[in-house]
Structure 1
Amino acid sequence: MKTLICDCNRTMPLDGPALNRALANSPNASSDGLATVHSVLCRREAPAFQRAAKETAASGEPLLVACTQEQRLFLELNAQTEGTARVGIEERPIRFFNIRETGGWSRDARNATPKIAALIAAAQLPDPEPVPTVSYRSAGRCLVIGSAEAAERAGAMLADRLDVTLLVDGGALSQQRERVVQAARLTKLTGWLGAFQAEWETSNPIDLDLCTRCNACIDACPEGAIDFSYQVDLAACRSHRDCVRVCEAAGAIDFGRAPQTAGDRFDLVLDLRTEPAFTMHQKPQGYFHVGHDDRALASAVLELRDSVGEFEKPRFFRYQPKLCAHSRNEQIGCSACIYVCSARAIRSDASQKGKTQGRGPRPAGVAAMPVAASGGGIVVEPHLCVGCGACSTVCPSGALTFAYPGPVDQGKRLRTLLATYAQAGGRDAALLLHSEGAGARLIGDLGRAARVDKSMRGVPARVLPVALWHTASVGLDLWLAALAQGASQVWILLTDEEAPEYREALAAQIAVAQAIASGLGYRGEHFRLIEARDARDLSALDAALSAAPAQGVARAASFAAQADKRVTLDLAIDHLLAQAPTAVGAIEEIALPAAGAPFGSLVIDTQRCTMCLSCVGACPESALADNPERPQLRFIEKNCVQCGLCASTCPEDAIQLQPRLLLADGGRARKANRVLHEMEPYRCVRCGSPFGTLRAIENMRVKLAGHSAFQGAAAERLKMCGDCRVIDIHSHANEVRITDIKP
């Protein structure tokens, strides 16, 4: 594709020939992928942009422009130029990316040619395949919640575009009845854009639907218990009931009225109260909580006025129930995705209503949660999902996958960056993963600050910024793959956008990744969270990006990231082990942190285990298996995701998880089928054939010894195999019938 780059009036030392040599050798090189360097593309050289826009429109290829500052100007020029492609919501004939603040304006910009070549090569990659969408439909029914004065004021701003209902709890109402008003207390609010369900409760004697706001009750009340809220202050009322008498015609006042519960469906909600109706970090789309902030109110009103019609967003996730390790046989295992979801879009769908979640991984301080009543696994509500991708990051099995873009496309992008950077002569690449919103703005602020403040370095030449829809959407599999493919470090930039749940989850995953890298002998800090909330943290961000490089692999891997998370992890670990500074065989295993570890073994208490093999039936990943020939519990460590289902299922409490990465025998041991526990079989006292185990049969006999149904011959049958037990029962029944015959 045609690529235009600009040195921004010669403020960036761009080496055009060197860039094109690097691009020609990039993994996805094409004959038309070379870049044309300009100096004032947005001004005097604008005709070059127009010619390129016409040429690419004729060929059907996108036009790539390395400038984000003048994006609006270029789009206007494109619209005004005859023969160019139209820019729509779905079509992107012109793409923009940033090389100025991300490297061209850094202190070591003269050494940034490999990085800029890598950024161009990544930008030249084709767009990922589109994903399914989630639809919303809003007819403009808006509920405004708050005090009467604030709600009336907000309602007036919206009434010409929306059908407004006010839910007020105190305050003076307007004398003129202009819209529906409910004086009540909100008791429940659920849903999302186009599908909110609100419930409220009122216990006041005055019914606002019947009230004419004639003010007769206010004049008649001797205690002043009624004001312009047209509600009775029951604490001040002394039961004179003069108000009832003067309201006799309207009949709006009834002190005998029972508390009323009502509700309705709304498309949009504007919440003016101090405390929001939804407590999660990511509120549902269509819900706006502004409190008493006038600036936030103005912004919300603008969005609300445009929130009528049909809307779509990407379906950000893919879910494979067969891989899910959340529940089996009414037992709870891994609940990591439920705990990390800041939008509460994920809920348990295990059976046994009211049962609390068991031994599955749970962050410290988080209480056990009740599970739902039917089915199995989890349910993800796509209308609530905000696309953070944290669920896919913490999912140990790969049952949940981020789809916007998926791991294959995202992995290809990271591999292109690293390979192009290395082939252009770059060393010690550090990937800086950041959000497309606040993260990109912070990096832009840092680049601009370094342009004028010589004490700041800016984004170093070895740091490759990678914009993501959300920083939590890329996790352990792609981090380790990047390390195997030549990255020295992987850093994640966190801003105010990230929920506390994301920070905890990412920190846990980074601890696992660093434990693996350090355990293999790679020196330095390879994975790190960098926190910078706003422009006030630019100096700290500048210092963090200047950290020393860590030891990477001697030879970069060439594998591509796979759709299956576990496959990518295996490929990355195998390469890191093969390239490890520590000799293969010197390390038997690497202990991993308990929180977030996707690998590990099991420790079996052989004194407790009866070889009932309940754990085998509970294992969702086929890590546990039996042996049809003899009582054995077998285990393939590579398959274990440390979900804990085996431990929660075990009736004898004989299983403990052991988070680790087994490296024995060059990593082959973790892929082998090994025996965790075995017993001598118990042999039938009638035919001698093996069935069950000695401990299991003896435990059963002890537990049933006092039961009236297992006495005498019935107790002896417990020592028999299934076939002999049936034969013995029939033989005993025939004997009883013969002795019952009278001569």
Structure 2
Amino acid sequence: MLGVEMTLDFQKIRENVYQRHQPYQNLIPATVSYQTQGYILLIGPEDSARLASALLSNQYKVTILATEAITNQDQAHLQQAMDVSQHCQVYYGKLNSVKGFLGQFQVSVNQQQQDIELARVAIRQPHFDLIIDLSRQPILQQDLLPAGYFYVGAQQSTLQQVVQDLPDFIGDFEKPRYAKINPQLCAHSNNDLIGCQRCLEVCPAEAISSVDFRIEIDPYLCHGSGSCASVCPTSAIEYDLPPPMPLQTYIQNVVADYIQHTKIKPVLLFHAQQHQSATLTKQLPSHILPIAVEEIGVVGAEHCLAAIAWGAARVLIVNSEAEMVSVTEALQRQVNLVNELLLNLSLNNCIEVIDSNALCNDNNIANLAAYVYQDEVINALAIADFGADNKRQLFFAALDHINHQTLQLERVIEVKHSSFGTITVDNDCTLCMACVSACPTSALVAGNDTPSLSIVEQNCVQCGLCQQSCPEKVINLQGQINLQHQQRRQAQLLQQEPAFHCISCGKPFATESMVKRMLTMLSEHDAFKGQSQRLKMCGDCRVRDMVKDVIDDPNKQLR
């Protein structure tokens, strides 16, 4: 019924839907605090830094670190630079590093072959509050720079704007702690091996790091872009504004309510908070439902797929050209994955990323009326009523529903560079089970009575820890999504072989291939030379045989 004419009645219905369903707000979010007192460090060419210091009022305590050659050799220019900066301390040296954030910048400098913490020497403080970087190239290179760091270069207009904004950065501040991490769910490492690094790859602020084989998020550096939570395959990282479950419930309720009162499948439009939903609701065509999120990077494949299953005809995601490249690329990968899956199910172009210019004026907003999806397949799709405890369950529940309602395919779809898939095992596998102990999601399962290795494909996040831990190097990752939902949820056999029985007591203790490998590698070792039959014994019998050998001939161990 998407072809019916939109009227003012539909606008009113949409307004009523939003009145009945309020988005979840974390009214008391966890926060982090900043404190600054006006200690400013100017870094760059000495003459540029000296002249810049003249623009700063006496309320600031200014230090200059000259790291580059002067920009102008004119004597009058140099004299002016010296005259206006008499109140500043100037230091020279090679810059080693700049670390930190607003109120906590630590600057290491090499002076006369000695590394020093400049703040402790220059201002008798452990850190600087603010940094103005006048260098030819930025000292800090991350996409999202830490609060309190300003790159100016040689741009006078930028410098003047920074000087004008500086008073806003003096005092006490708080900001939300955007993301939280559950180390128990994280697939980054196990047994001192490195696996999943997806969050490290997408963070534009370099706020995420691996410390002692554990993922840590620096809440002071975090800008809340949300892409880390979006790409995390295990829900170890969760975005907290809002938490994922309330957001999913809100999406489901809004779509269901709209369909109940209009009999029309709406188009969902995810947008960042800077576009006010109340304003958009009045401006947008009445079949488009805006869904505000703190940052657009929060939107993941599970949201898009679930929205279609819950009754949305299409999903639009508003992205800005100013968005960080890493965030945009991560978002586009999520969208491409969902569209590839839906295309296999005869649903075309259901998810689309559109530019934020589409919301910048009334004419562009009116053009969104063209986003009406009249595909018979999606109109006939029954509306799902499922929930889920985590993003992975939500993703597969939505996919299985859509598949059941469309083509009911029972095949495997290859998906590269994703967190879905299985593994293959070469015939040289000895079933040592190192991979099982390394798997952080319990996707790999060891056999009980018979030596075997199986995988529960739905649990595999393609972290690679099994591959890293395999001593025989016989494991290969295989990115795919299995549409046979029963098979995907059950343990599928990868490798199996008969057990080797102890030649002394008859107890099974290893696989035949494992014993064969031990004989090849250890039979000439000093501990087993002439006694290779012990390698065919279980651990208990091997010890008993060694003890008996000593009792029978006590001097043998001394010869």
Instruction: Name the CA shift for 1:387/1:126 in 2 (closer, same or farther; >3 Å).
Output: closer
Instruction: Name the CA shift for 1:189/1:537 in 2 (closer, same or farther; >3 Å).
Output: farther
> Which digits, 9 at most, give the CA deviation of each residue in 1:591-619, with x for residues without a partner?
142222x32222222x1211011110000
Tell me how far 1:462 sits from its aligned partner.
2.3
| Structure 1 counterpart of 2:226, from 381, 389, 392 | 389
Given the alignment of the two structures, is residue 191 of structure 1 paired with residue 53 of structure 2, yes or no? no
| Structure 2 counterpart of 1:303, from 151, 165, 176 | 165
Given the alignment of the two structures, is residue 669 of structure 1 paired with residue 487 of structure 2, yes or no? yes
Q: Are 1:407 and 1:561, in contact at CA under 8 Å, matched by a contact in 2?
A: no
> Which digits, 9 at most, give the CA deviation of each residue in 1:304-327, with x for residues without a partner?
222222211111112111110111
Q: Secondary structure at the match of 2:302?
A: helix
Alignment match, 1:250: none
> Which digits, 9 at most, give the CA deviation of each residue in 1:200-222, with x for residues without a partner?
345xxxxxxxxxxxxxxxxxxxx
Q: Are 2:24 and 2:246, in contact at CA under 8 Å, matched by a contact in 1?
A: no
Q: Secondary structure at the match of 2:34?
A: strand
| Structure 1 counterpart of 2:472, from 652, 675, 681 | 652
Alignment match, 2:381: 554
Instruction: Name the CA shift for 1:691/1:738 in 2 (closer, same or farther; >3 Å).
Output: same
Alignment match, 1:175: 83
Given the alignment of the two structures, is residue 144 of structure 1 paired with residue 42 of structure 2, yes or no? yes
Q: Distance in 2 between matches of 1:676 and 1:635?
A: 7
Instruction: Name the CA shift for 1:739/1:424 in 2 (closer, same or farther; >3 Å).
Output: closer
Tell me how far 1:470 sits from its aligned partner.
0.9
Q: Distance in 2 between matches of 1:405 and 1:426?
A: 29
Q: Secondary structure at the match of 1:615?
A: helix
Alignment match, 2:397: 571
| Structure 1 counterpart of 2:287, from 428, 451, 462 | 462
Amino acid at match of 1:523: L
Amino acid at match of 2:83: Q
Q: Secondary structure at the match of 1:348?
A: strand
Alignment of 1:204-603 (within 5 A): 258=112, 261-262=115-116, 263-264=118-119, 265-349=127-211, 374=212, 376-425=213-262, 427-437=264-274, 459-519=284-344, 521-532=345-356, 546-549=370-373, 551-552=377-378, 554-560=381-387, 562=389, 564-578=390-404, 580-582=405-407, 584=408, 587-596=409-418, 598-603=419-424
The structure whose Rg is larger is 1
Tell me how far 1:332 sits from its aligned partner.
1.5
Q: For the aligned residues, what is the CA RMSD?
A: 3.0
Tell me how far 1:302 sits from its aligned partner.
3.1
Alignment match, 1:366: none
Q: Are 1:516 and 1:590, in contact at CA under 8 Å, matched by a contact in 2?
A: no
Tell me how far 1:701 sits from its aligned partner.
1.0
Alignment of 1:46-57 (within 5 A): none
Q: Distance in 1 between matches of 2:24 and 2:174?
A: 23
Q: Distance in 2 between matches of 1:201 and 1:708?
A: 54
Alignment match, 2:63: 165
Q: Secondary structure at the match of 2:242?
A: coil
Ranges in structure 1 where 5+ consecutive residues have no aligned partner: 1-106, 203-257, 350-373, 449-457
> Which digits, 9 at most, give the CA deviation of each residue in 1:451-484, with x for residues without a partner?
xxxxxxx843322222222110121222222111
Q: Are 1:601 and 1:660, in contact at CA under 8 Å, matched by a contact in 2?
A: yes
| Structure 2 counterpart of 1:155, from 53, 62, 65 | 53
| Greater CA drift, 531-540 or 163-172 | 531-540
Ranges in structure 2 where 5+ consecutive residues have no aligned partner: 1-5, 72-77, 120-126
Tell me how far 1:385 sits from its aligned partner.
0.7
Q: Are 2:204 and 2:324, in contact at CA under 8 Å, matched by a contact in 1?
A: yes
Tell me how far 1:675 sits from its aligned partner.
2.3
**Percent of matched pairs sharing the same residue:** 32
> Which digits, 9 at most, give the CA deviation of each residue in 1:317-358, with x for residues without a partner?
121111101111121111000000111111113xxxxxxxxx
Q: Are 1:114 and 1:420, in contact at CA under 8 Å, matched by a contact in 2?
A: no
Alignment match, 1:244: none
Q: Secondary structure at the match of 1:660?
A: strand
Q: Distance in 2 between matches of 1:533 and 1:199?
A: 43
Amino acid at match of 1:406: P
Q: Distance in 1 between matches of 2:481 and 2:326?
A: 26
Q: Distance in 2 between matches of 1:723 and 1:259?
A: 61
Q: Are 1:515 and 1:590, in contact at CA under 8 Å, matched by a contact in 2?
A: no
Q: Are 2:505 and 2:541, in contact at CA under 8 Å, matched by a contact in 1?
A: yes
Q: Distance in 2 between matches of 1:490 and 1:535?
A: 15
Q: Secondary structure at the match of 2:370?
A: coil
Q: Are 1:276 and 1:289, in contact at CA under 8 Å, matched by a contact in 2?
A: yes
TM-score by length of 1: 0.66
Amino acid at match of 2:216: V
Return the structure number with greater helix share. 2
Instruction: Name the CA shift for 1:539/1:336 in 2 (closer, same or farther; >3 Å).
Output: farther
Q: Distance in 2 between matches of 1:716 and 1:479?
A: 61
Q: Secondary structure at the match of 1:313?
A: strand
Amino acid at match of 2:129: D
Q: Distance in 2 between matches of 1:201 and 1:420?
A: 64
> Which digits, 9 at most, give the CA deviation of each residue in 1:273-328, with x for residues without a partner?
33211101000111111223344333322332222222111111121111101111
Q: Distance in 2 between matches of 1:319 and 1:503?
A: 22
Alignment of 1:83-122 (within 5 A): 112-122=11-21
Q: Are 1:530 and 1:541, in contact at CA under 8 Å, matched by a contact in 2?
A: no
Alignment match, 2:500: 682
Alignment of 1:36-51 (within 5 A): none
Q: Are 1:115 and 1:426, in contact at CA under 8 Å, matched by a contact in 2?
A: no
Tell me how far 1:108 sits from its aligned partner.
7.6
Q: Are 1:316 and 1:387, in contact at CA under 8 Å, matched by a contact in 2?
A: yes
Q: Secondary structure at the match of 1:270?
A: strand
Amino acid at match of 1:478: H
Alignment match, 1:737: 554
Q: Secondary structure at the match of 2:143?
A: coil
Tell me how far 1:740 sits from its aligned partner.
10
Given the alignment of the two structures, is residue 728 of structure 1 paired with residue 545 of structure 2, yes or no? yes
Instruction: Name the CA shift for 1:110/1:295 in 2 (closer, same or farther; >3 Å).
Output: farther
Tell me how far 1:116 sits from its aligned partner.
3.6
Q: Distance in 1 between matches of 2:497 and 2:244?
A: 44
Q: Are 1:393 and 1:475, in contact at CA under 8 Å, matched by a contact in 2?
A: yes
Q: Distance in 2 between matches of 1:676 and 1:658?
A: 13
Given the alignment of the two structures, is residue 639 of structure 1 paired with residue 454 of structure 2, yes or no? no
Q: Distance in 2 between matches of 1:274 and 1:118?
A: 54
Instruction: Name the CA shift for 1:198/1:424 in 2 (closer, same or farther; >3 Å).
Output: same
Q: Distance in 1 between matches of 2:357 and 2:43?
A: 31
Instruction: Name the CA shift for 1:658/1:537 in 2 (closer, same or farther; >3 Å).
Output: farther
Instruction: Name the CA shift for 1:684/1:465 in 2 (closer, same or farther; >3 Å).
Output: same
Tell me how far 1:396 sits from its aligned partner.
0.6
Q: Distance in 1 between matches of 2:291 and 2:156?
A: 35
Q: Are 1:418 and 1:485, in contact at CA under 8 Å, matched by a contact in 2?
A: yes
Instruction: Name the CA shift for 1:711/1:533 in 2 (closer, same or farther; >3 Å).
Output: farther
Alignment match, 1:621: 441
> Which digits, 9 at most, give the CA deviation of each residue in 1:655-690, with x for residues without a partner?
2222222232xx222222332211101111222221
